[in-house]
């Protein structure tokens, strides 16, 4: 990839001396943009441009060439690539359209280009893109009209060229710049994932911004992004939420996990911060590039007016930040310098008369307080002093200490100078308190992420709800058969499970309940394993073997929600009742679902009372198995109390999923809801995730409900579907 960002010489195929042609615009940007290497212009017609010769063909150019830019019509591109290959060029940018985006013929052309590149160890950016731009090298392979973006420390990798162009223009107006911009187009070869390591290594880049419309290889993105994020923040805007919708699904997990849940889980896993708007993304990117990270969420707000201070305070909570309580010593010192009617509480309101010195001294006091990890300084146009003098007085205080300080500069014409003062010092400023708070929230999220990653090696402390119980109480509710306290080792899964997986039916579709329970059981998840009775008489026999009370359920590959068809009966307490119920359930199901193929009725032990949860996995085409945990029962789709994460999970991730839902939080008890065995739920979740990761043909598998008591967890019902 080095050839793209540090080429020693560049060839422009399709250079043109007509100013309205792209081949002219690219030549202009290459040559006038300050690129220090050789630029060779090529066009069969020859001639001169910007005082340089235009070579009739690539073969006539002198010296070694690292990068080619192909401004040629789509059909001529394969031949141009072959010429480049012969000339020993290892990197090419194809701005032209007319490839995959235009239909099947274009897709075939794109595939041909890719094959040529693969055969010749050549990398391609594009087609259908704007190209790349490095403000420090400098290098500008685009055809965009000047001026180029300001030099800065943000990298932008964009799936949309038009968006990159609009962002360049907007960023100039906002006064911030970029280290690199890459427009990726159709991504026939090079993707955003390929470019991450280079951005991580680029000394000019401090923050990496992604504009994504899709992701090719989801798992590779996660791995690469994860390694990048430890070095530099990665921020992403991913479009397509509106098209995500619900997928065709047979389980609640499948119905509720749109593909966006998988993207959210993937970004979460990789430590990539996701944003919904470009404005939010760049607000945060600028803070991340300029500021140290806060050690906690405790924030001080310094203002010369009450209203904006309260606006800032209001916004803190949504970002996981809180209003710091300045220590008594700090408050005393503040009171000594503030006017009598001012507030030394946080937000610290110095009143409208606040001077540059008072701003600076107050900020210094706040930042010296160990209860305070960050500060927002609010500057509406001062009615008394030139606001830019306040900014100038604040700068030395901000730069002389290690806590992040974000300035809010409210207004427009009266405060342009003020913004410029901060900008010249490399500091962003924000026009509204809420936007500064969001940016500070981003700093705090990154601080937490890095801390968690650091601690990931350390063993996880699990506060078990059972720790406080008497041994007698623990034993009252014995662990269900099949529960195992050992974690499943994914590299050597139980052989019973492997042999069951080998015996899975070849056809796609729902699995019989017995098969699903068999898989769970083999994976070490305790189940109310049902036994199928194909006649009323057999039901009586099985009932006598299991004991009472019993649960009976209709069994059919065509019925997914058994209670919807009146196919469930509880509290069966005798052989006679089991026989009569067998008959009744069959008739009821036949009435409600006349088309369904009925296999019989299953019998299983009735579980002890306890809490309930849903555990599910659904295979995402891009990221593999996506796990769900949350409130189950029949109300799962109404309550939407579900959290998602990518399989396989580790204990830390499993606990995170639990904490994100009410179903998970209440496992440790809440008011009169008794605590149950949280660890048994974590175990079941880890095992289900391992099972889902193990068998790529599992489209969906769901336990609903998992009954949880003090003694353990029992899968009461489950369903699964094969791809």
Q: Interface residues for a copy of itself in 16-45 (CB under 8 A)?
A: none
Number of chain residues interacting with a copy of itself (CB under 8 A):
79
The interface region with a copy of itself, picked from 59-67, 512-520, 556-564, 710-718 by CB under 8 A, is: 556-564
Residues in 110-139 at the binding interface with a copy of itself, rule: CB under 8 A: none
User: What residues numbered 649-708 form the site for a copy of itself, per CB under 8 A?
Assistant: 662, 665-666, 670-673
- Upstream peptide bond of 705 is cis (omega within 30 degrees of 0): yes
For residue 355, state whether it binds a copy of itself (rule: CB under 8 A): no
Find the part of the chain contacting a copy of itself (CB under 8 A) among 80-88, 427-435, 501-509, 643-651: 427-435
Residues 47-86 that bind a copy of itself (CB under 8 A): none
User: Could you tell me the smallest distance in angstroms from the CB atom of residue 227 to a copy of itself?
Assistant: 27
- Minimal distance, residue 631 CB to a copy of itself, in Å: 8
Binding mask 375-394 for a copy of itself (x = CB under 8 A): -----xx-x-----------
> Pick from 670, 671, 664: which is nearest to 706 by CA?
664
Extended strands (E) in 598-687: 600-605, 611-620, 624-630, 642-646
Check residue 108 for interaction with a copy of itself (CB under 8 A). Answer: no
Interaction between residue 173 and a copy of itself (CB under 8 A): yes
Does position 423 interact with a copy of itself (CB under 8 A)? The reply is: no
- Rounded to a whole number of angstroms, the distance between the first and last alpha carbons of the chain is 38
Q: Is 163 in the site for a copy of itself (CB under 8 A)?
A: yes
> Is residue 633 exposed (0-12), middle (13-18) or buried (19+ Cβ within 10 Å)?
middle
CB 703 within 8 A of CB 520: yes
Residues 430-469 that bind a copy of itself (CB under 8 A): 431-432, 434-435
According to CB under 8 A, which one of 277, 489, 491, 595 is a site residue for a copy of itself? 277
304 binds a copy of itself (CB under 8 A): yes
At 586, list the tokens: 């069959």
Task: Tell which one of 49, 415, 577, 607 touches a copy of itself (CB under 8 A).
Answer: 415
Measured distance CA(497)–CA(486) in Å, rounded: 15
How open is the CA angle 432-207-131, to the nearest 5 degrees? 110
By CB under 8 A, what part of segment 213-252 binds a copy of itself? 213, 237, 239-243
Of the two residues 211 and 517, which places its CB atom closer to a copy of itself in the complex?
211
Question: In the block, which residue shows the tokens 């392979």?
Answer: 141
Check residue 573 for interaction with a copy of itself (CB under 8 A): no
- Chain positions 257 to 276 lying near a copy of itself, rule: CB under 8 A, are 276
- Is 548 a binder of a copy of itself (CB under 8 A)? no
- Please state the closest distance from residue 640 (CB atom) to a copy of itself, in A: 8
Min CB(330)–a copy of itself separation in Å? 20
Q: What is the DSSP string of 213-230?
A: S--SSHHHHHHHHHHHHH
Handedness of CA 26, 32, 37, 41 (dihedral sign): positive
Nearer to a copy of itself, 117 or 235 (CB): 235
| Contact present, 95 and 69 (Cβ < 8 Å) | yes
Least Å from the CB of residue 237 to a copy of itself: 8
| Phi, psi at 711, each rounded to 5° | -80, -30
Distance CA 158, CA 141 (A): 15
Binding residue for a copy of itself (CB under 8 A) from 172, 274, 584, 622? 172
Stretch that binds a copy of itself, among 110-118, 411-419, 526-534, 580-588 (CB under 8 A): 411-419
Other Cβ atoms less than 10 A from the Cβ of 697: the count is 13
For a copy of itself, the binding residue among 7, 126, 161, 540 (CB under 8 A) is 161
Residues 6+ apart with CB under 8 A from 508: 699, 721, 722, 723
At residue 8, the 3 state secondary structure works out as coil
Contacts of 502 (CB under 8 A, 6+ apart): none
Dig out the tokens for 404 from the structure.
């992040």
> 316, 443, 578, 694: which one contacts a copy of itself (CB under 8 A)?
316
Choose the stretch contacting a copy of itself; rule: CB under 8 A; options: 41-49, 193-201, 569-577, 634-642. 634-642
Identify the residue among 311, 529, 689, 698 touching a copy of itself (CB under 8 A).
311
3-state secondary structure 24-45: HHHHHHHHHCCCCCEEEEECCC
Q: Which residues of 63-94 are buried (b: 16+ CB within 10 A; e: fewer)?
A: eebbbbbbbbebeebeebbebbbeeebbbbbb
- From the list 650, 643, 697, the residue with the least C-alpha distance to 503 is 697
Under the criterion CB under 8 A, does residue 639 sit at the interface with a copy of itself?
yes
Among 28, 159, 403, 655, contact with a copy of itself (rule: CB under 8 A):
159
**What residues contact residue 214 under an 8 Å CB cut-off, 6+ apart?**
159, 240
Instruction: Give the nearer residue to a copy of itself in terms of CB position, either 123 or 656.
Output: 656
Pick 551 or 690: Cβ nearer a copy of itself: 551
Q: Which stretch binds a copy of itself (CB under 8 A): 81-89, 298-306, 531-539, 546-554?
A: 298-306
Tracing tokens 């306290």 back to the chain, one arrives at 485
Binds a copy of itself by CB under 8 A, chosen from 153, 641, 695, 702: 641
């Amino acid at each position: 990839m080095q050839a793209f960002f540090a080429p020693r010489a560049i060839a422009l195929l399709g250079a043109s001396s007509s100013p309205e042609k792209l081949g002219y615009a690219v030549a202009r940007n290459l040559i006038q943009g300050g690129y220090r290497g050789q630029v060779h212009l090529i066009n069969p017609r020859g001639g001169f441009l910007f005082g340089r010769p235009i070579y009739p063909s690539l073969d006539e150019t002198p010296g070694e060439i690292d990068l080619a830019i192909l401004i040629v019509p789509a059909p001529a591109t394969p031949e141009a690539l072959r010429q480049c290959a012969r000339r020993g060029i290892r990197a090419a940018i194809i701005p032209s359209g007319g490839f995959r985006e235009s239909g099947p013929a274009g897709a075939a052309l794109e595939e041909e280009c890719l094959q040529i590149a693969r055969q010749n160890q050549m990398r391609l950016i594009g087609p259908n893109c704007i190209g790349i731009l490095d403000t420090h090298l400098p290098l500008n392979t685009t055809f965009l009209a000047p001026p180029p973006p300001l030099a800065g420390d943000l990298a932008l990798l964009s799936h949309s060229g038009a968006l990159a162009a609009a962002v360049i223009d907007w960023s100039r107006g906002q006064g911030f710049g970029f280290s690199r911009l890459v427009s990726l187009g159709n991504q026939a070869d090079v993707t955003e994932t390929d470019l991450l390591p280079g951005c991580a290594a680029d000394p000019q880049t401090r923050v990496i911004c992604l504009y994504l419309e899709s992701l090719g290889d989801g798992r590779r993105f996660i791995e690469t992004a994860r390694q990048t994020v430890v070095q530099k923040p990665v921020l992403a805007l991913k479009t397509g939420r509106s098209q995500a919708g619900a997928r065709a699904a047979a389980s609640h997990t499948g119905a509720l996990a749109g593909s966006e849940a998988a993207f959210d889980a993937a970004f979460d896993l990789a430590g990539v911060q996701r944003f919904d708007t470009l404005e939010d993304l760049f607000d945060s990117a600028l803070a991340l590039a300029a500021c140290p990270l806060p050690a906690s969420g405790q924030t001080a707000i310094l203002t010369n007016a009450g209203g904006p201070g309260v606006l800032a305070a209001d916004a803190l909570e949504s970002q996981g930040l809180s209003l710091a309580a300045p220590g008594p010593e700090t408050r005393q010192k503040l009171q000594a310098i503030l006017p009598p009617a001012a507030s030394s509480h946080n937000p610290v309101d110095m009143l409208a008369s606040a001077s540059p010195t008072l701003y600076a001294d107050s900020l210094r006091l706040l930042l010296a307080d160990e209860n305070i990890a960050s500060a927002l300084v609010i500057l509406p146009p001062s009615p008394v002093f030139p606001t830019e003098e306040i900014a100038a007085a604040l700068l030395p205080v901000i730069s002389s200490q290690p806590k992040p300080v974000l300035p809010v500069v409210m207004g427009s014409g009266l405060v342009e100078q003020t913004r410029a003062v901060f900008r010249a010092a490399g500091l962003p400023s924000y026009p509204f308190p809420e936007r500064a708070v969001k940016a500070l929230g981003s700093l705090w999220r990154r601080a937490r992420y890095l801390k968690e990653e650091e601690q990931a090696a350390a063993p996880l402390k699990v506060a078990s709800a059972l720790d406080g119980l008497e041994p007698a109480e623990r034993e009252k509710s014995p662990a269900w058969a099949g529960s195992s306290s050992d974690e499943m080792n994914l590299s050597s899964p139980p052989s019973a499970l492997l042999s069951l997986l080998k015996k899975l039916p070849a056809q796609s579709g729902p699995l019989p309940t017995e098969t699903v329970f068999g898989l769970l059981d083999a994976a070490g998840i305790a189940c109310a394993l049902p036994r199928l009775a194909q006649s009323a008489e057999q039901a009586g026999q099985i009932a006598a073997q299991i004991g009472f009370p019993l649960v009976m359920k209709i069994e059919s590959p065509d019925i997914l929600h058994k209670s919807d068809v009146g196919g469930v009966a509880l509290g069966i307490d005798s052989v006679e009742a089991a026989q009569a119920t067998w008959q009744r359930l069959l008739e009821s199901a036949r009435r409600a679902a006349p088309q369904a193929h009925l296999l019989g009725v299953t019998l299983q032990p009735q579980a002890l009372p306890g809490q309930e949860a849903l555990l599910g996995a659904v295979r995402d085409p891009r990221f593999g198995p996506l796990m769900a945990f949350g409130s189950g029962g029949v109300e799962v789709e109404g309550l939407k109390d579900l959290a998602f994460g990518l399989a396989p999970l580790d204990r830390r991730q499993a606990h995170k999923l639990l904490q994100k839902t009410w179903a998970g939080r209440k496992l440790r008890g809440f008011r009169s809801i008794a605590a149950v065995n949280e660890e048994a739920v974590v175990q079941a979740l880890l095992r289900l995730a391992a099972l889902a990761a193990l068998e790529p043909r599992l489209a969906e598998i769901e336990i609903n409900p998992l009954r949880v008591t003090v003694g353990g967890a029992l899968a009461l019902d489950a369903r699964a579907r094969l791809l």
